[in-house]
Amino acid sequence: MTVVTRFAPSPTGMLHIGGARTALFNWLFSRHHGGEFLLRVEDTDRERSTPEAVDAIFEGLDWLGLERDREPVYQSHNLARHQELVRQLLAEGKAYHCYTTPDELAEMRDQARAEGRPTGYDGRWRDRDPSDAPPGVTPAIRFKAPIEGQTIIDDQVLGEVRFDSAQLDDMILLRSDGTPTYMLAVVADDHDMGITHVIRGVDHLTNAARQIQLFRALDWEAPEFAHIPLIHGSDGAKLSKRHGALAVGAYREQGFLPAAMRNFLVRLGWSHGDEEVFSKGQMIDLFGLGAVGKSPARFDMDKLLNVNGHYIRQSDDKNLVIAITPLLQGLEVLGFLKIPIIRIESAKLARVEGLMPELKKRARTLVELAENARFLVTTRPIEMIPKAAKLLKGDAPGLLQELLNPLKSLENWSTEALEACVKQFAEANDLKLGTIAQPLRAALTGSNASPGIFDVLAVLGREESLGRIADAASTA
């Protein structure tokens, strides 16, 4: 049997971190088994679904590298089939018309809660004669759920979970306006799409029980279910925008790499011994539902940052330059067009690439990387941060002025030669290296922290370096 999984978001919002992980697990599971990963847009909701949200979800999945097989299914397109199924259930006596109004329902729930009873629908129209139907009320259609016994979910992550059937009320299959509800649509579409494994958040656990009942009523075999624990915020509460429930697009903007995101996400709930780093291929090889934990995980930004830093260090220098070039240019939005504010000559980009091996050790996001590389592409006189300006007080300008001479006469502008030259200068003047290196750093980078100063000198080149040093020397 070929494994077929699906990711079924409702396009009422962005693709957030929890949804992304659900998608990842479904994708990994299908890839591991050489099966298919499908996408279904659950847009049975009236106005709440938007095309923008659909686009955002597709973009998010693309960015994460979770390619789908087959074209996405739009649940709303299956309206006729859903309605037909309800007619069938009705004809078989497995569903019935319910004339209870929303107000009555609310009243019923309040009372049940007050009396300590389950708050579900009490089945008041289940066996009532249709001739009792009040005039002017268009009925909804409810499922005639089994009253006795238990419904058992053999969950691939949680194990066996049982619900007393009495606990599961008669859910609505078709709204009074004739549109199908989620519960019916999911079952119908999962069956029609040939879904073999449903992997989703535990918030769907009770739904699984209801859906199993529906599968039985329809005489269909239910898929396997796997309910994965939710992701909580750093304070243990439900994940909200305050602590990371951002759209995946927001993470891209913050400079996270898809590979890092995948690695971070897969480790939230899944593990393989002591291993922390997994390539796409390794994840696919190793992933299994048996190694998925049952307890909820908290979102940890520090860990994400660390993982991202790791992947940045592993990345190819050229690719990193390409990735940060737009950040370096800055983008001005004019209508639909994004236009670079600054044109950067290729010679300057070459500097960035030259220093990249050093730069990438110091960044945990692409945004940070770009910021740290910015001094390489700015034009003289460069800006100084306050801490750098401070380094250029006192003797510093004078020392830099003196350093200019040996530097100017240097034949070979290489890291090694530059290091030898500056060290010799320090020794000759009885200075600790730091005494000259720090002002030099400020002069060249405008900052008090940067990659090794000799590397910076070498990458900046003779002319630019000398110019920047002269600029700083004349601040006195």
Q: Which residues are catalytic?
A: 241
Q: Does 238 bind RNA (CB under 7 A)?
A: yes
Q: Does 362 bind RNA (CB under 7 A)?
A: yes
Interaction residues for RNA, span 199-228 (CB under 7 A): 202-207
425 versus 454: smaller Cβ distance to RNA: 454
Nearest-angstrom CA–CA distance, 153 and 158? 9
Beta strand 172-174 with 197-201 is unpaired
Q: Give the amino acid at 212.
A: I
Nearest-angstrom CA–CA distance, 177 and 307? 49
Q: Which of 355, 352, 359, 364 is nearest to 255 (CA)?
A: 364
Binds RNA by CB under 7 A, chosen from 236, 281, 335, 386: 236
Minimum distance from CB of 380 to RNA (Å)? 21
Nearest-angstrom CA–CA distance, 203 and 242? 21
329 versus 415: smaller Cβ distance to RNA: 415
Interaction residues for RNA, span 454-473 (CB under 7 A): 454-455
List helix spans (H) across 248-300.
248-253, 258-266, 280-286
Choices 58-66, 163-171, 377-385, 394-402; region in contact with RNA by CB under 7 A: 163-171
Choices 248-256, 322-330, 338-346, 448-456; region in contact with RNA by CB under 7 A: 448-456
Minimum distance from CB of 12 to RNA (Å)? 7
27 versus 163: smaller Cβ distance to RNA: 163
CB distance 280 to 262 below 8 Å = yes
Choices 109-117, 338-346, 347-355, 401-409; region in contact with RNA by CB under 7 A: 109-117
217 versus 418: smaller Cβ distance to RNA: 418
Q: Does 172 bind RNA (CB under 7 A)?
A: yes
Nearest-angstrom CA–CA distance, 440 and 448? 10
Nearest-angstrom CA–CA distance, 106 and 117? 14
Q: Which of 38, 133, 143, 49 is nearest to 89 (CA)?
A: 143
Interaction residues for RNA, span 21-80 (CB under 7 A): 42, 44-45, 48, 75
Choices 79-87, 191-199, 266-274, 398-406; region in contact with RNA by CB under 7 A: 266-274
347 versus 449: smaller Cβ distance to RNA: 449
Interaction residues for RNA, span 295-334 (CB under 7 A): 295-298, 300, 302-303, 305-306, 309-310, 313
Q: Does 269 bind RNA (CB under 7 A)?
A: yes
Q: Does 98 bind RNA (CB under 7 A)?
A: yes
Binds RNA by CB under 7 A, chosen from 32, 126, 175, 191: 175
Q: Does 136 bind RNA (CB under 7 A)?
A: no
Minimum distance from CB of 3 to RNA (Å)? 21
DSSP structure string for 195-235 = --EEEEEGGGHHHHHHHHHHHHHTT-PPPEEEEEPPEEPTT
Nearest-angstrom CA–CA distance, 221 and 213? 11
Binds RNA by CB under 7 A, chosen from 134, 273, 335, 386: 273
Interaction residues for RNA, span 275-294 (CB under 7 A): 276, 290-291, 293-294
- Taking CA 356 as the corner, what is the angle to CA 353 and CA 359, rounded to the nearest 5 degrees? 145
Query: Residues binding RNA: what is the number (CB under 7 A)?
Result: 92
DSSP structure string for 94-121 = SEEEE---HHHHHHHHHHHHHTT---S-
Beta strand 159-164 with 150-155 is antiparallel
